[in-house]
Amino acid sequence: MLIHRLATLTGLAVATLFMAAPANALTMAECSTKYNAAKDGGTLNGQTWNQFRKAECGTDAAATTETAKPAKKAAAAKADTTKAAAAVDDGATGLTAKECSAKYQAPKAAGTLNGVKWNDFRKTECAAGASATAEPAKATTKAAAAADDSAKGLTAKECSAKYQAAKAAGTLNGAKWNDFRKTECAAGASAAVQPAKATTKAAADSSGKGLSMADCSAKYQAAKSANTLGGKKWNDFRKAECGAGADDDDTVPAPSEATYTSEPEKPSVAAPKGVKFPTAISKKYASETPAKGRMHTCLELYYANKDANTLNGLRWIQKGGGFYSLCNAKLKS
């Protein structure tokens, strides 16, 4: 009887325990797997392990993470949407520093920055809505820059070349570098010497002064190099092409063609008042013999006096002692 009662009580206890336990509760292993799946899927929503176990592993809970899977997919889709939105935001906020730098380097290499500095470029070309690539139309600014350069006039190098060409052609007409630069290299000027400038020769002739000896010599050498002298000697060329007057000295050689043959005669007359003579042989002729150095130094000073109109009728060589004779004697003394 006692045994029967004990068996009955045992059965009741087991039944009670069975009824008290969750009908379909997950095991620890199943709940842990489900927890980790939710953790990987980003659907824990801040729940701790104990909170998750109580909420997700109790009665009727499924051991699989199928229900969590859609949530994970939804989260992934949400992430994609967020990423796209971020891209739109990036476009709205402008280019990144890296993208803007790449865009800046492209026109810099192409020479189309036109003096725009990095910060100015960044503000204008990399702001909201800007494209990461340089616009092809930017290249057209090169032509605009060229137009601007033309409007500003010739560069110093171009103007210098033009000046030298005019000097060689004998068409400077006494114009100094600064005067030439202002009149011939200003806005709209051409880098080439205008042929019309040669017409100023008539003006030089009418003035009676003509070209300076240095300018005439340069023009003579240019004609000689171009083989356009037509058999003319220095003095003939000087009279015909440099506006020289009838009283010009036919005894003086060209600066570049003077050759030493012998010492001039000793002077027997005094030099006219105002004529300037050198006091020593020029350093540029220091490598020559003393006699040849004196001749070249005297010739240089003769032309300087002629350009300054201080010869007062004195010729290079004349009876009683011309400029060469007087100059040579002074240098020897």
Quick one: 329 and 266 in the same domain?
yes
Quick one: 23 and 108 in the same domain?
no
Within-domain flag for 5: no
Quick one: 259 and 325 in the same domain?
yes
293 vs 1, higher pLDDT: 293
Within-domain flag for 211: yes
| 203-217 average pLDDT score | 60
199 — pLDDT class (breaks 50, 70, 90): very low
pLDDT tops 90 at residue 295: yes
Asked if 248 and 213 touch (Cβ cutoff 8 Å), the reply is no
Model confidence, pTM? 0.36
Note the pLDDT of residue 14.
44
Asked if 170 and 216 touch (Cβ cutoff 8 Å), the reply is yes
With a CB cutoff of 8 Å and minimum separation 6, the contacts of 279 are 330
Buried b (16+ CB within 10 A) or exposed e, 73-88: eeeeeeeeeeeeeeee
Domain boundary (214, 247, 280) is at 247
Among 89-98, 187-196, 219-228, 290-299, the range with the most confident prediction by mean pLDDT is 290-299
pLDDT in tens, 104-156: 888 887 778 787 888 888 888 887 777 776 655 444 444 444 445 545 677 77
Quick one: 65 and 98 in the same domain?
no
Quick one: 34 and 85 in the same domain?
yes
Domain boundary (122, 151, 180) is at 151
Quick one: 200 and 227 in the same domain?
yes
Number of domains in the chain: 4
Query: Domain containing 265: what range?
Result: 249-333
Note the pLDDT of residue 283.
93
Quick one: 179 and 197 in the same domain?
yes
295 vs 113, higher pLDDT: 295
Note the pLDDT of residue 88.
45
pLDDT in tens, 20-53: 444 567 888 888 888 888 888 888 888 888 888 8
Quick one: 79 and 117 in the same domain?
no
Q: Fill in the DSSP letter of residue 333.
A: -
Domain boundary (247, 266, 281) is at 247
122 vs 314, higher pLDDT: 314
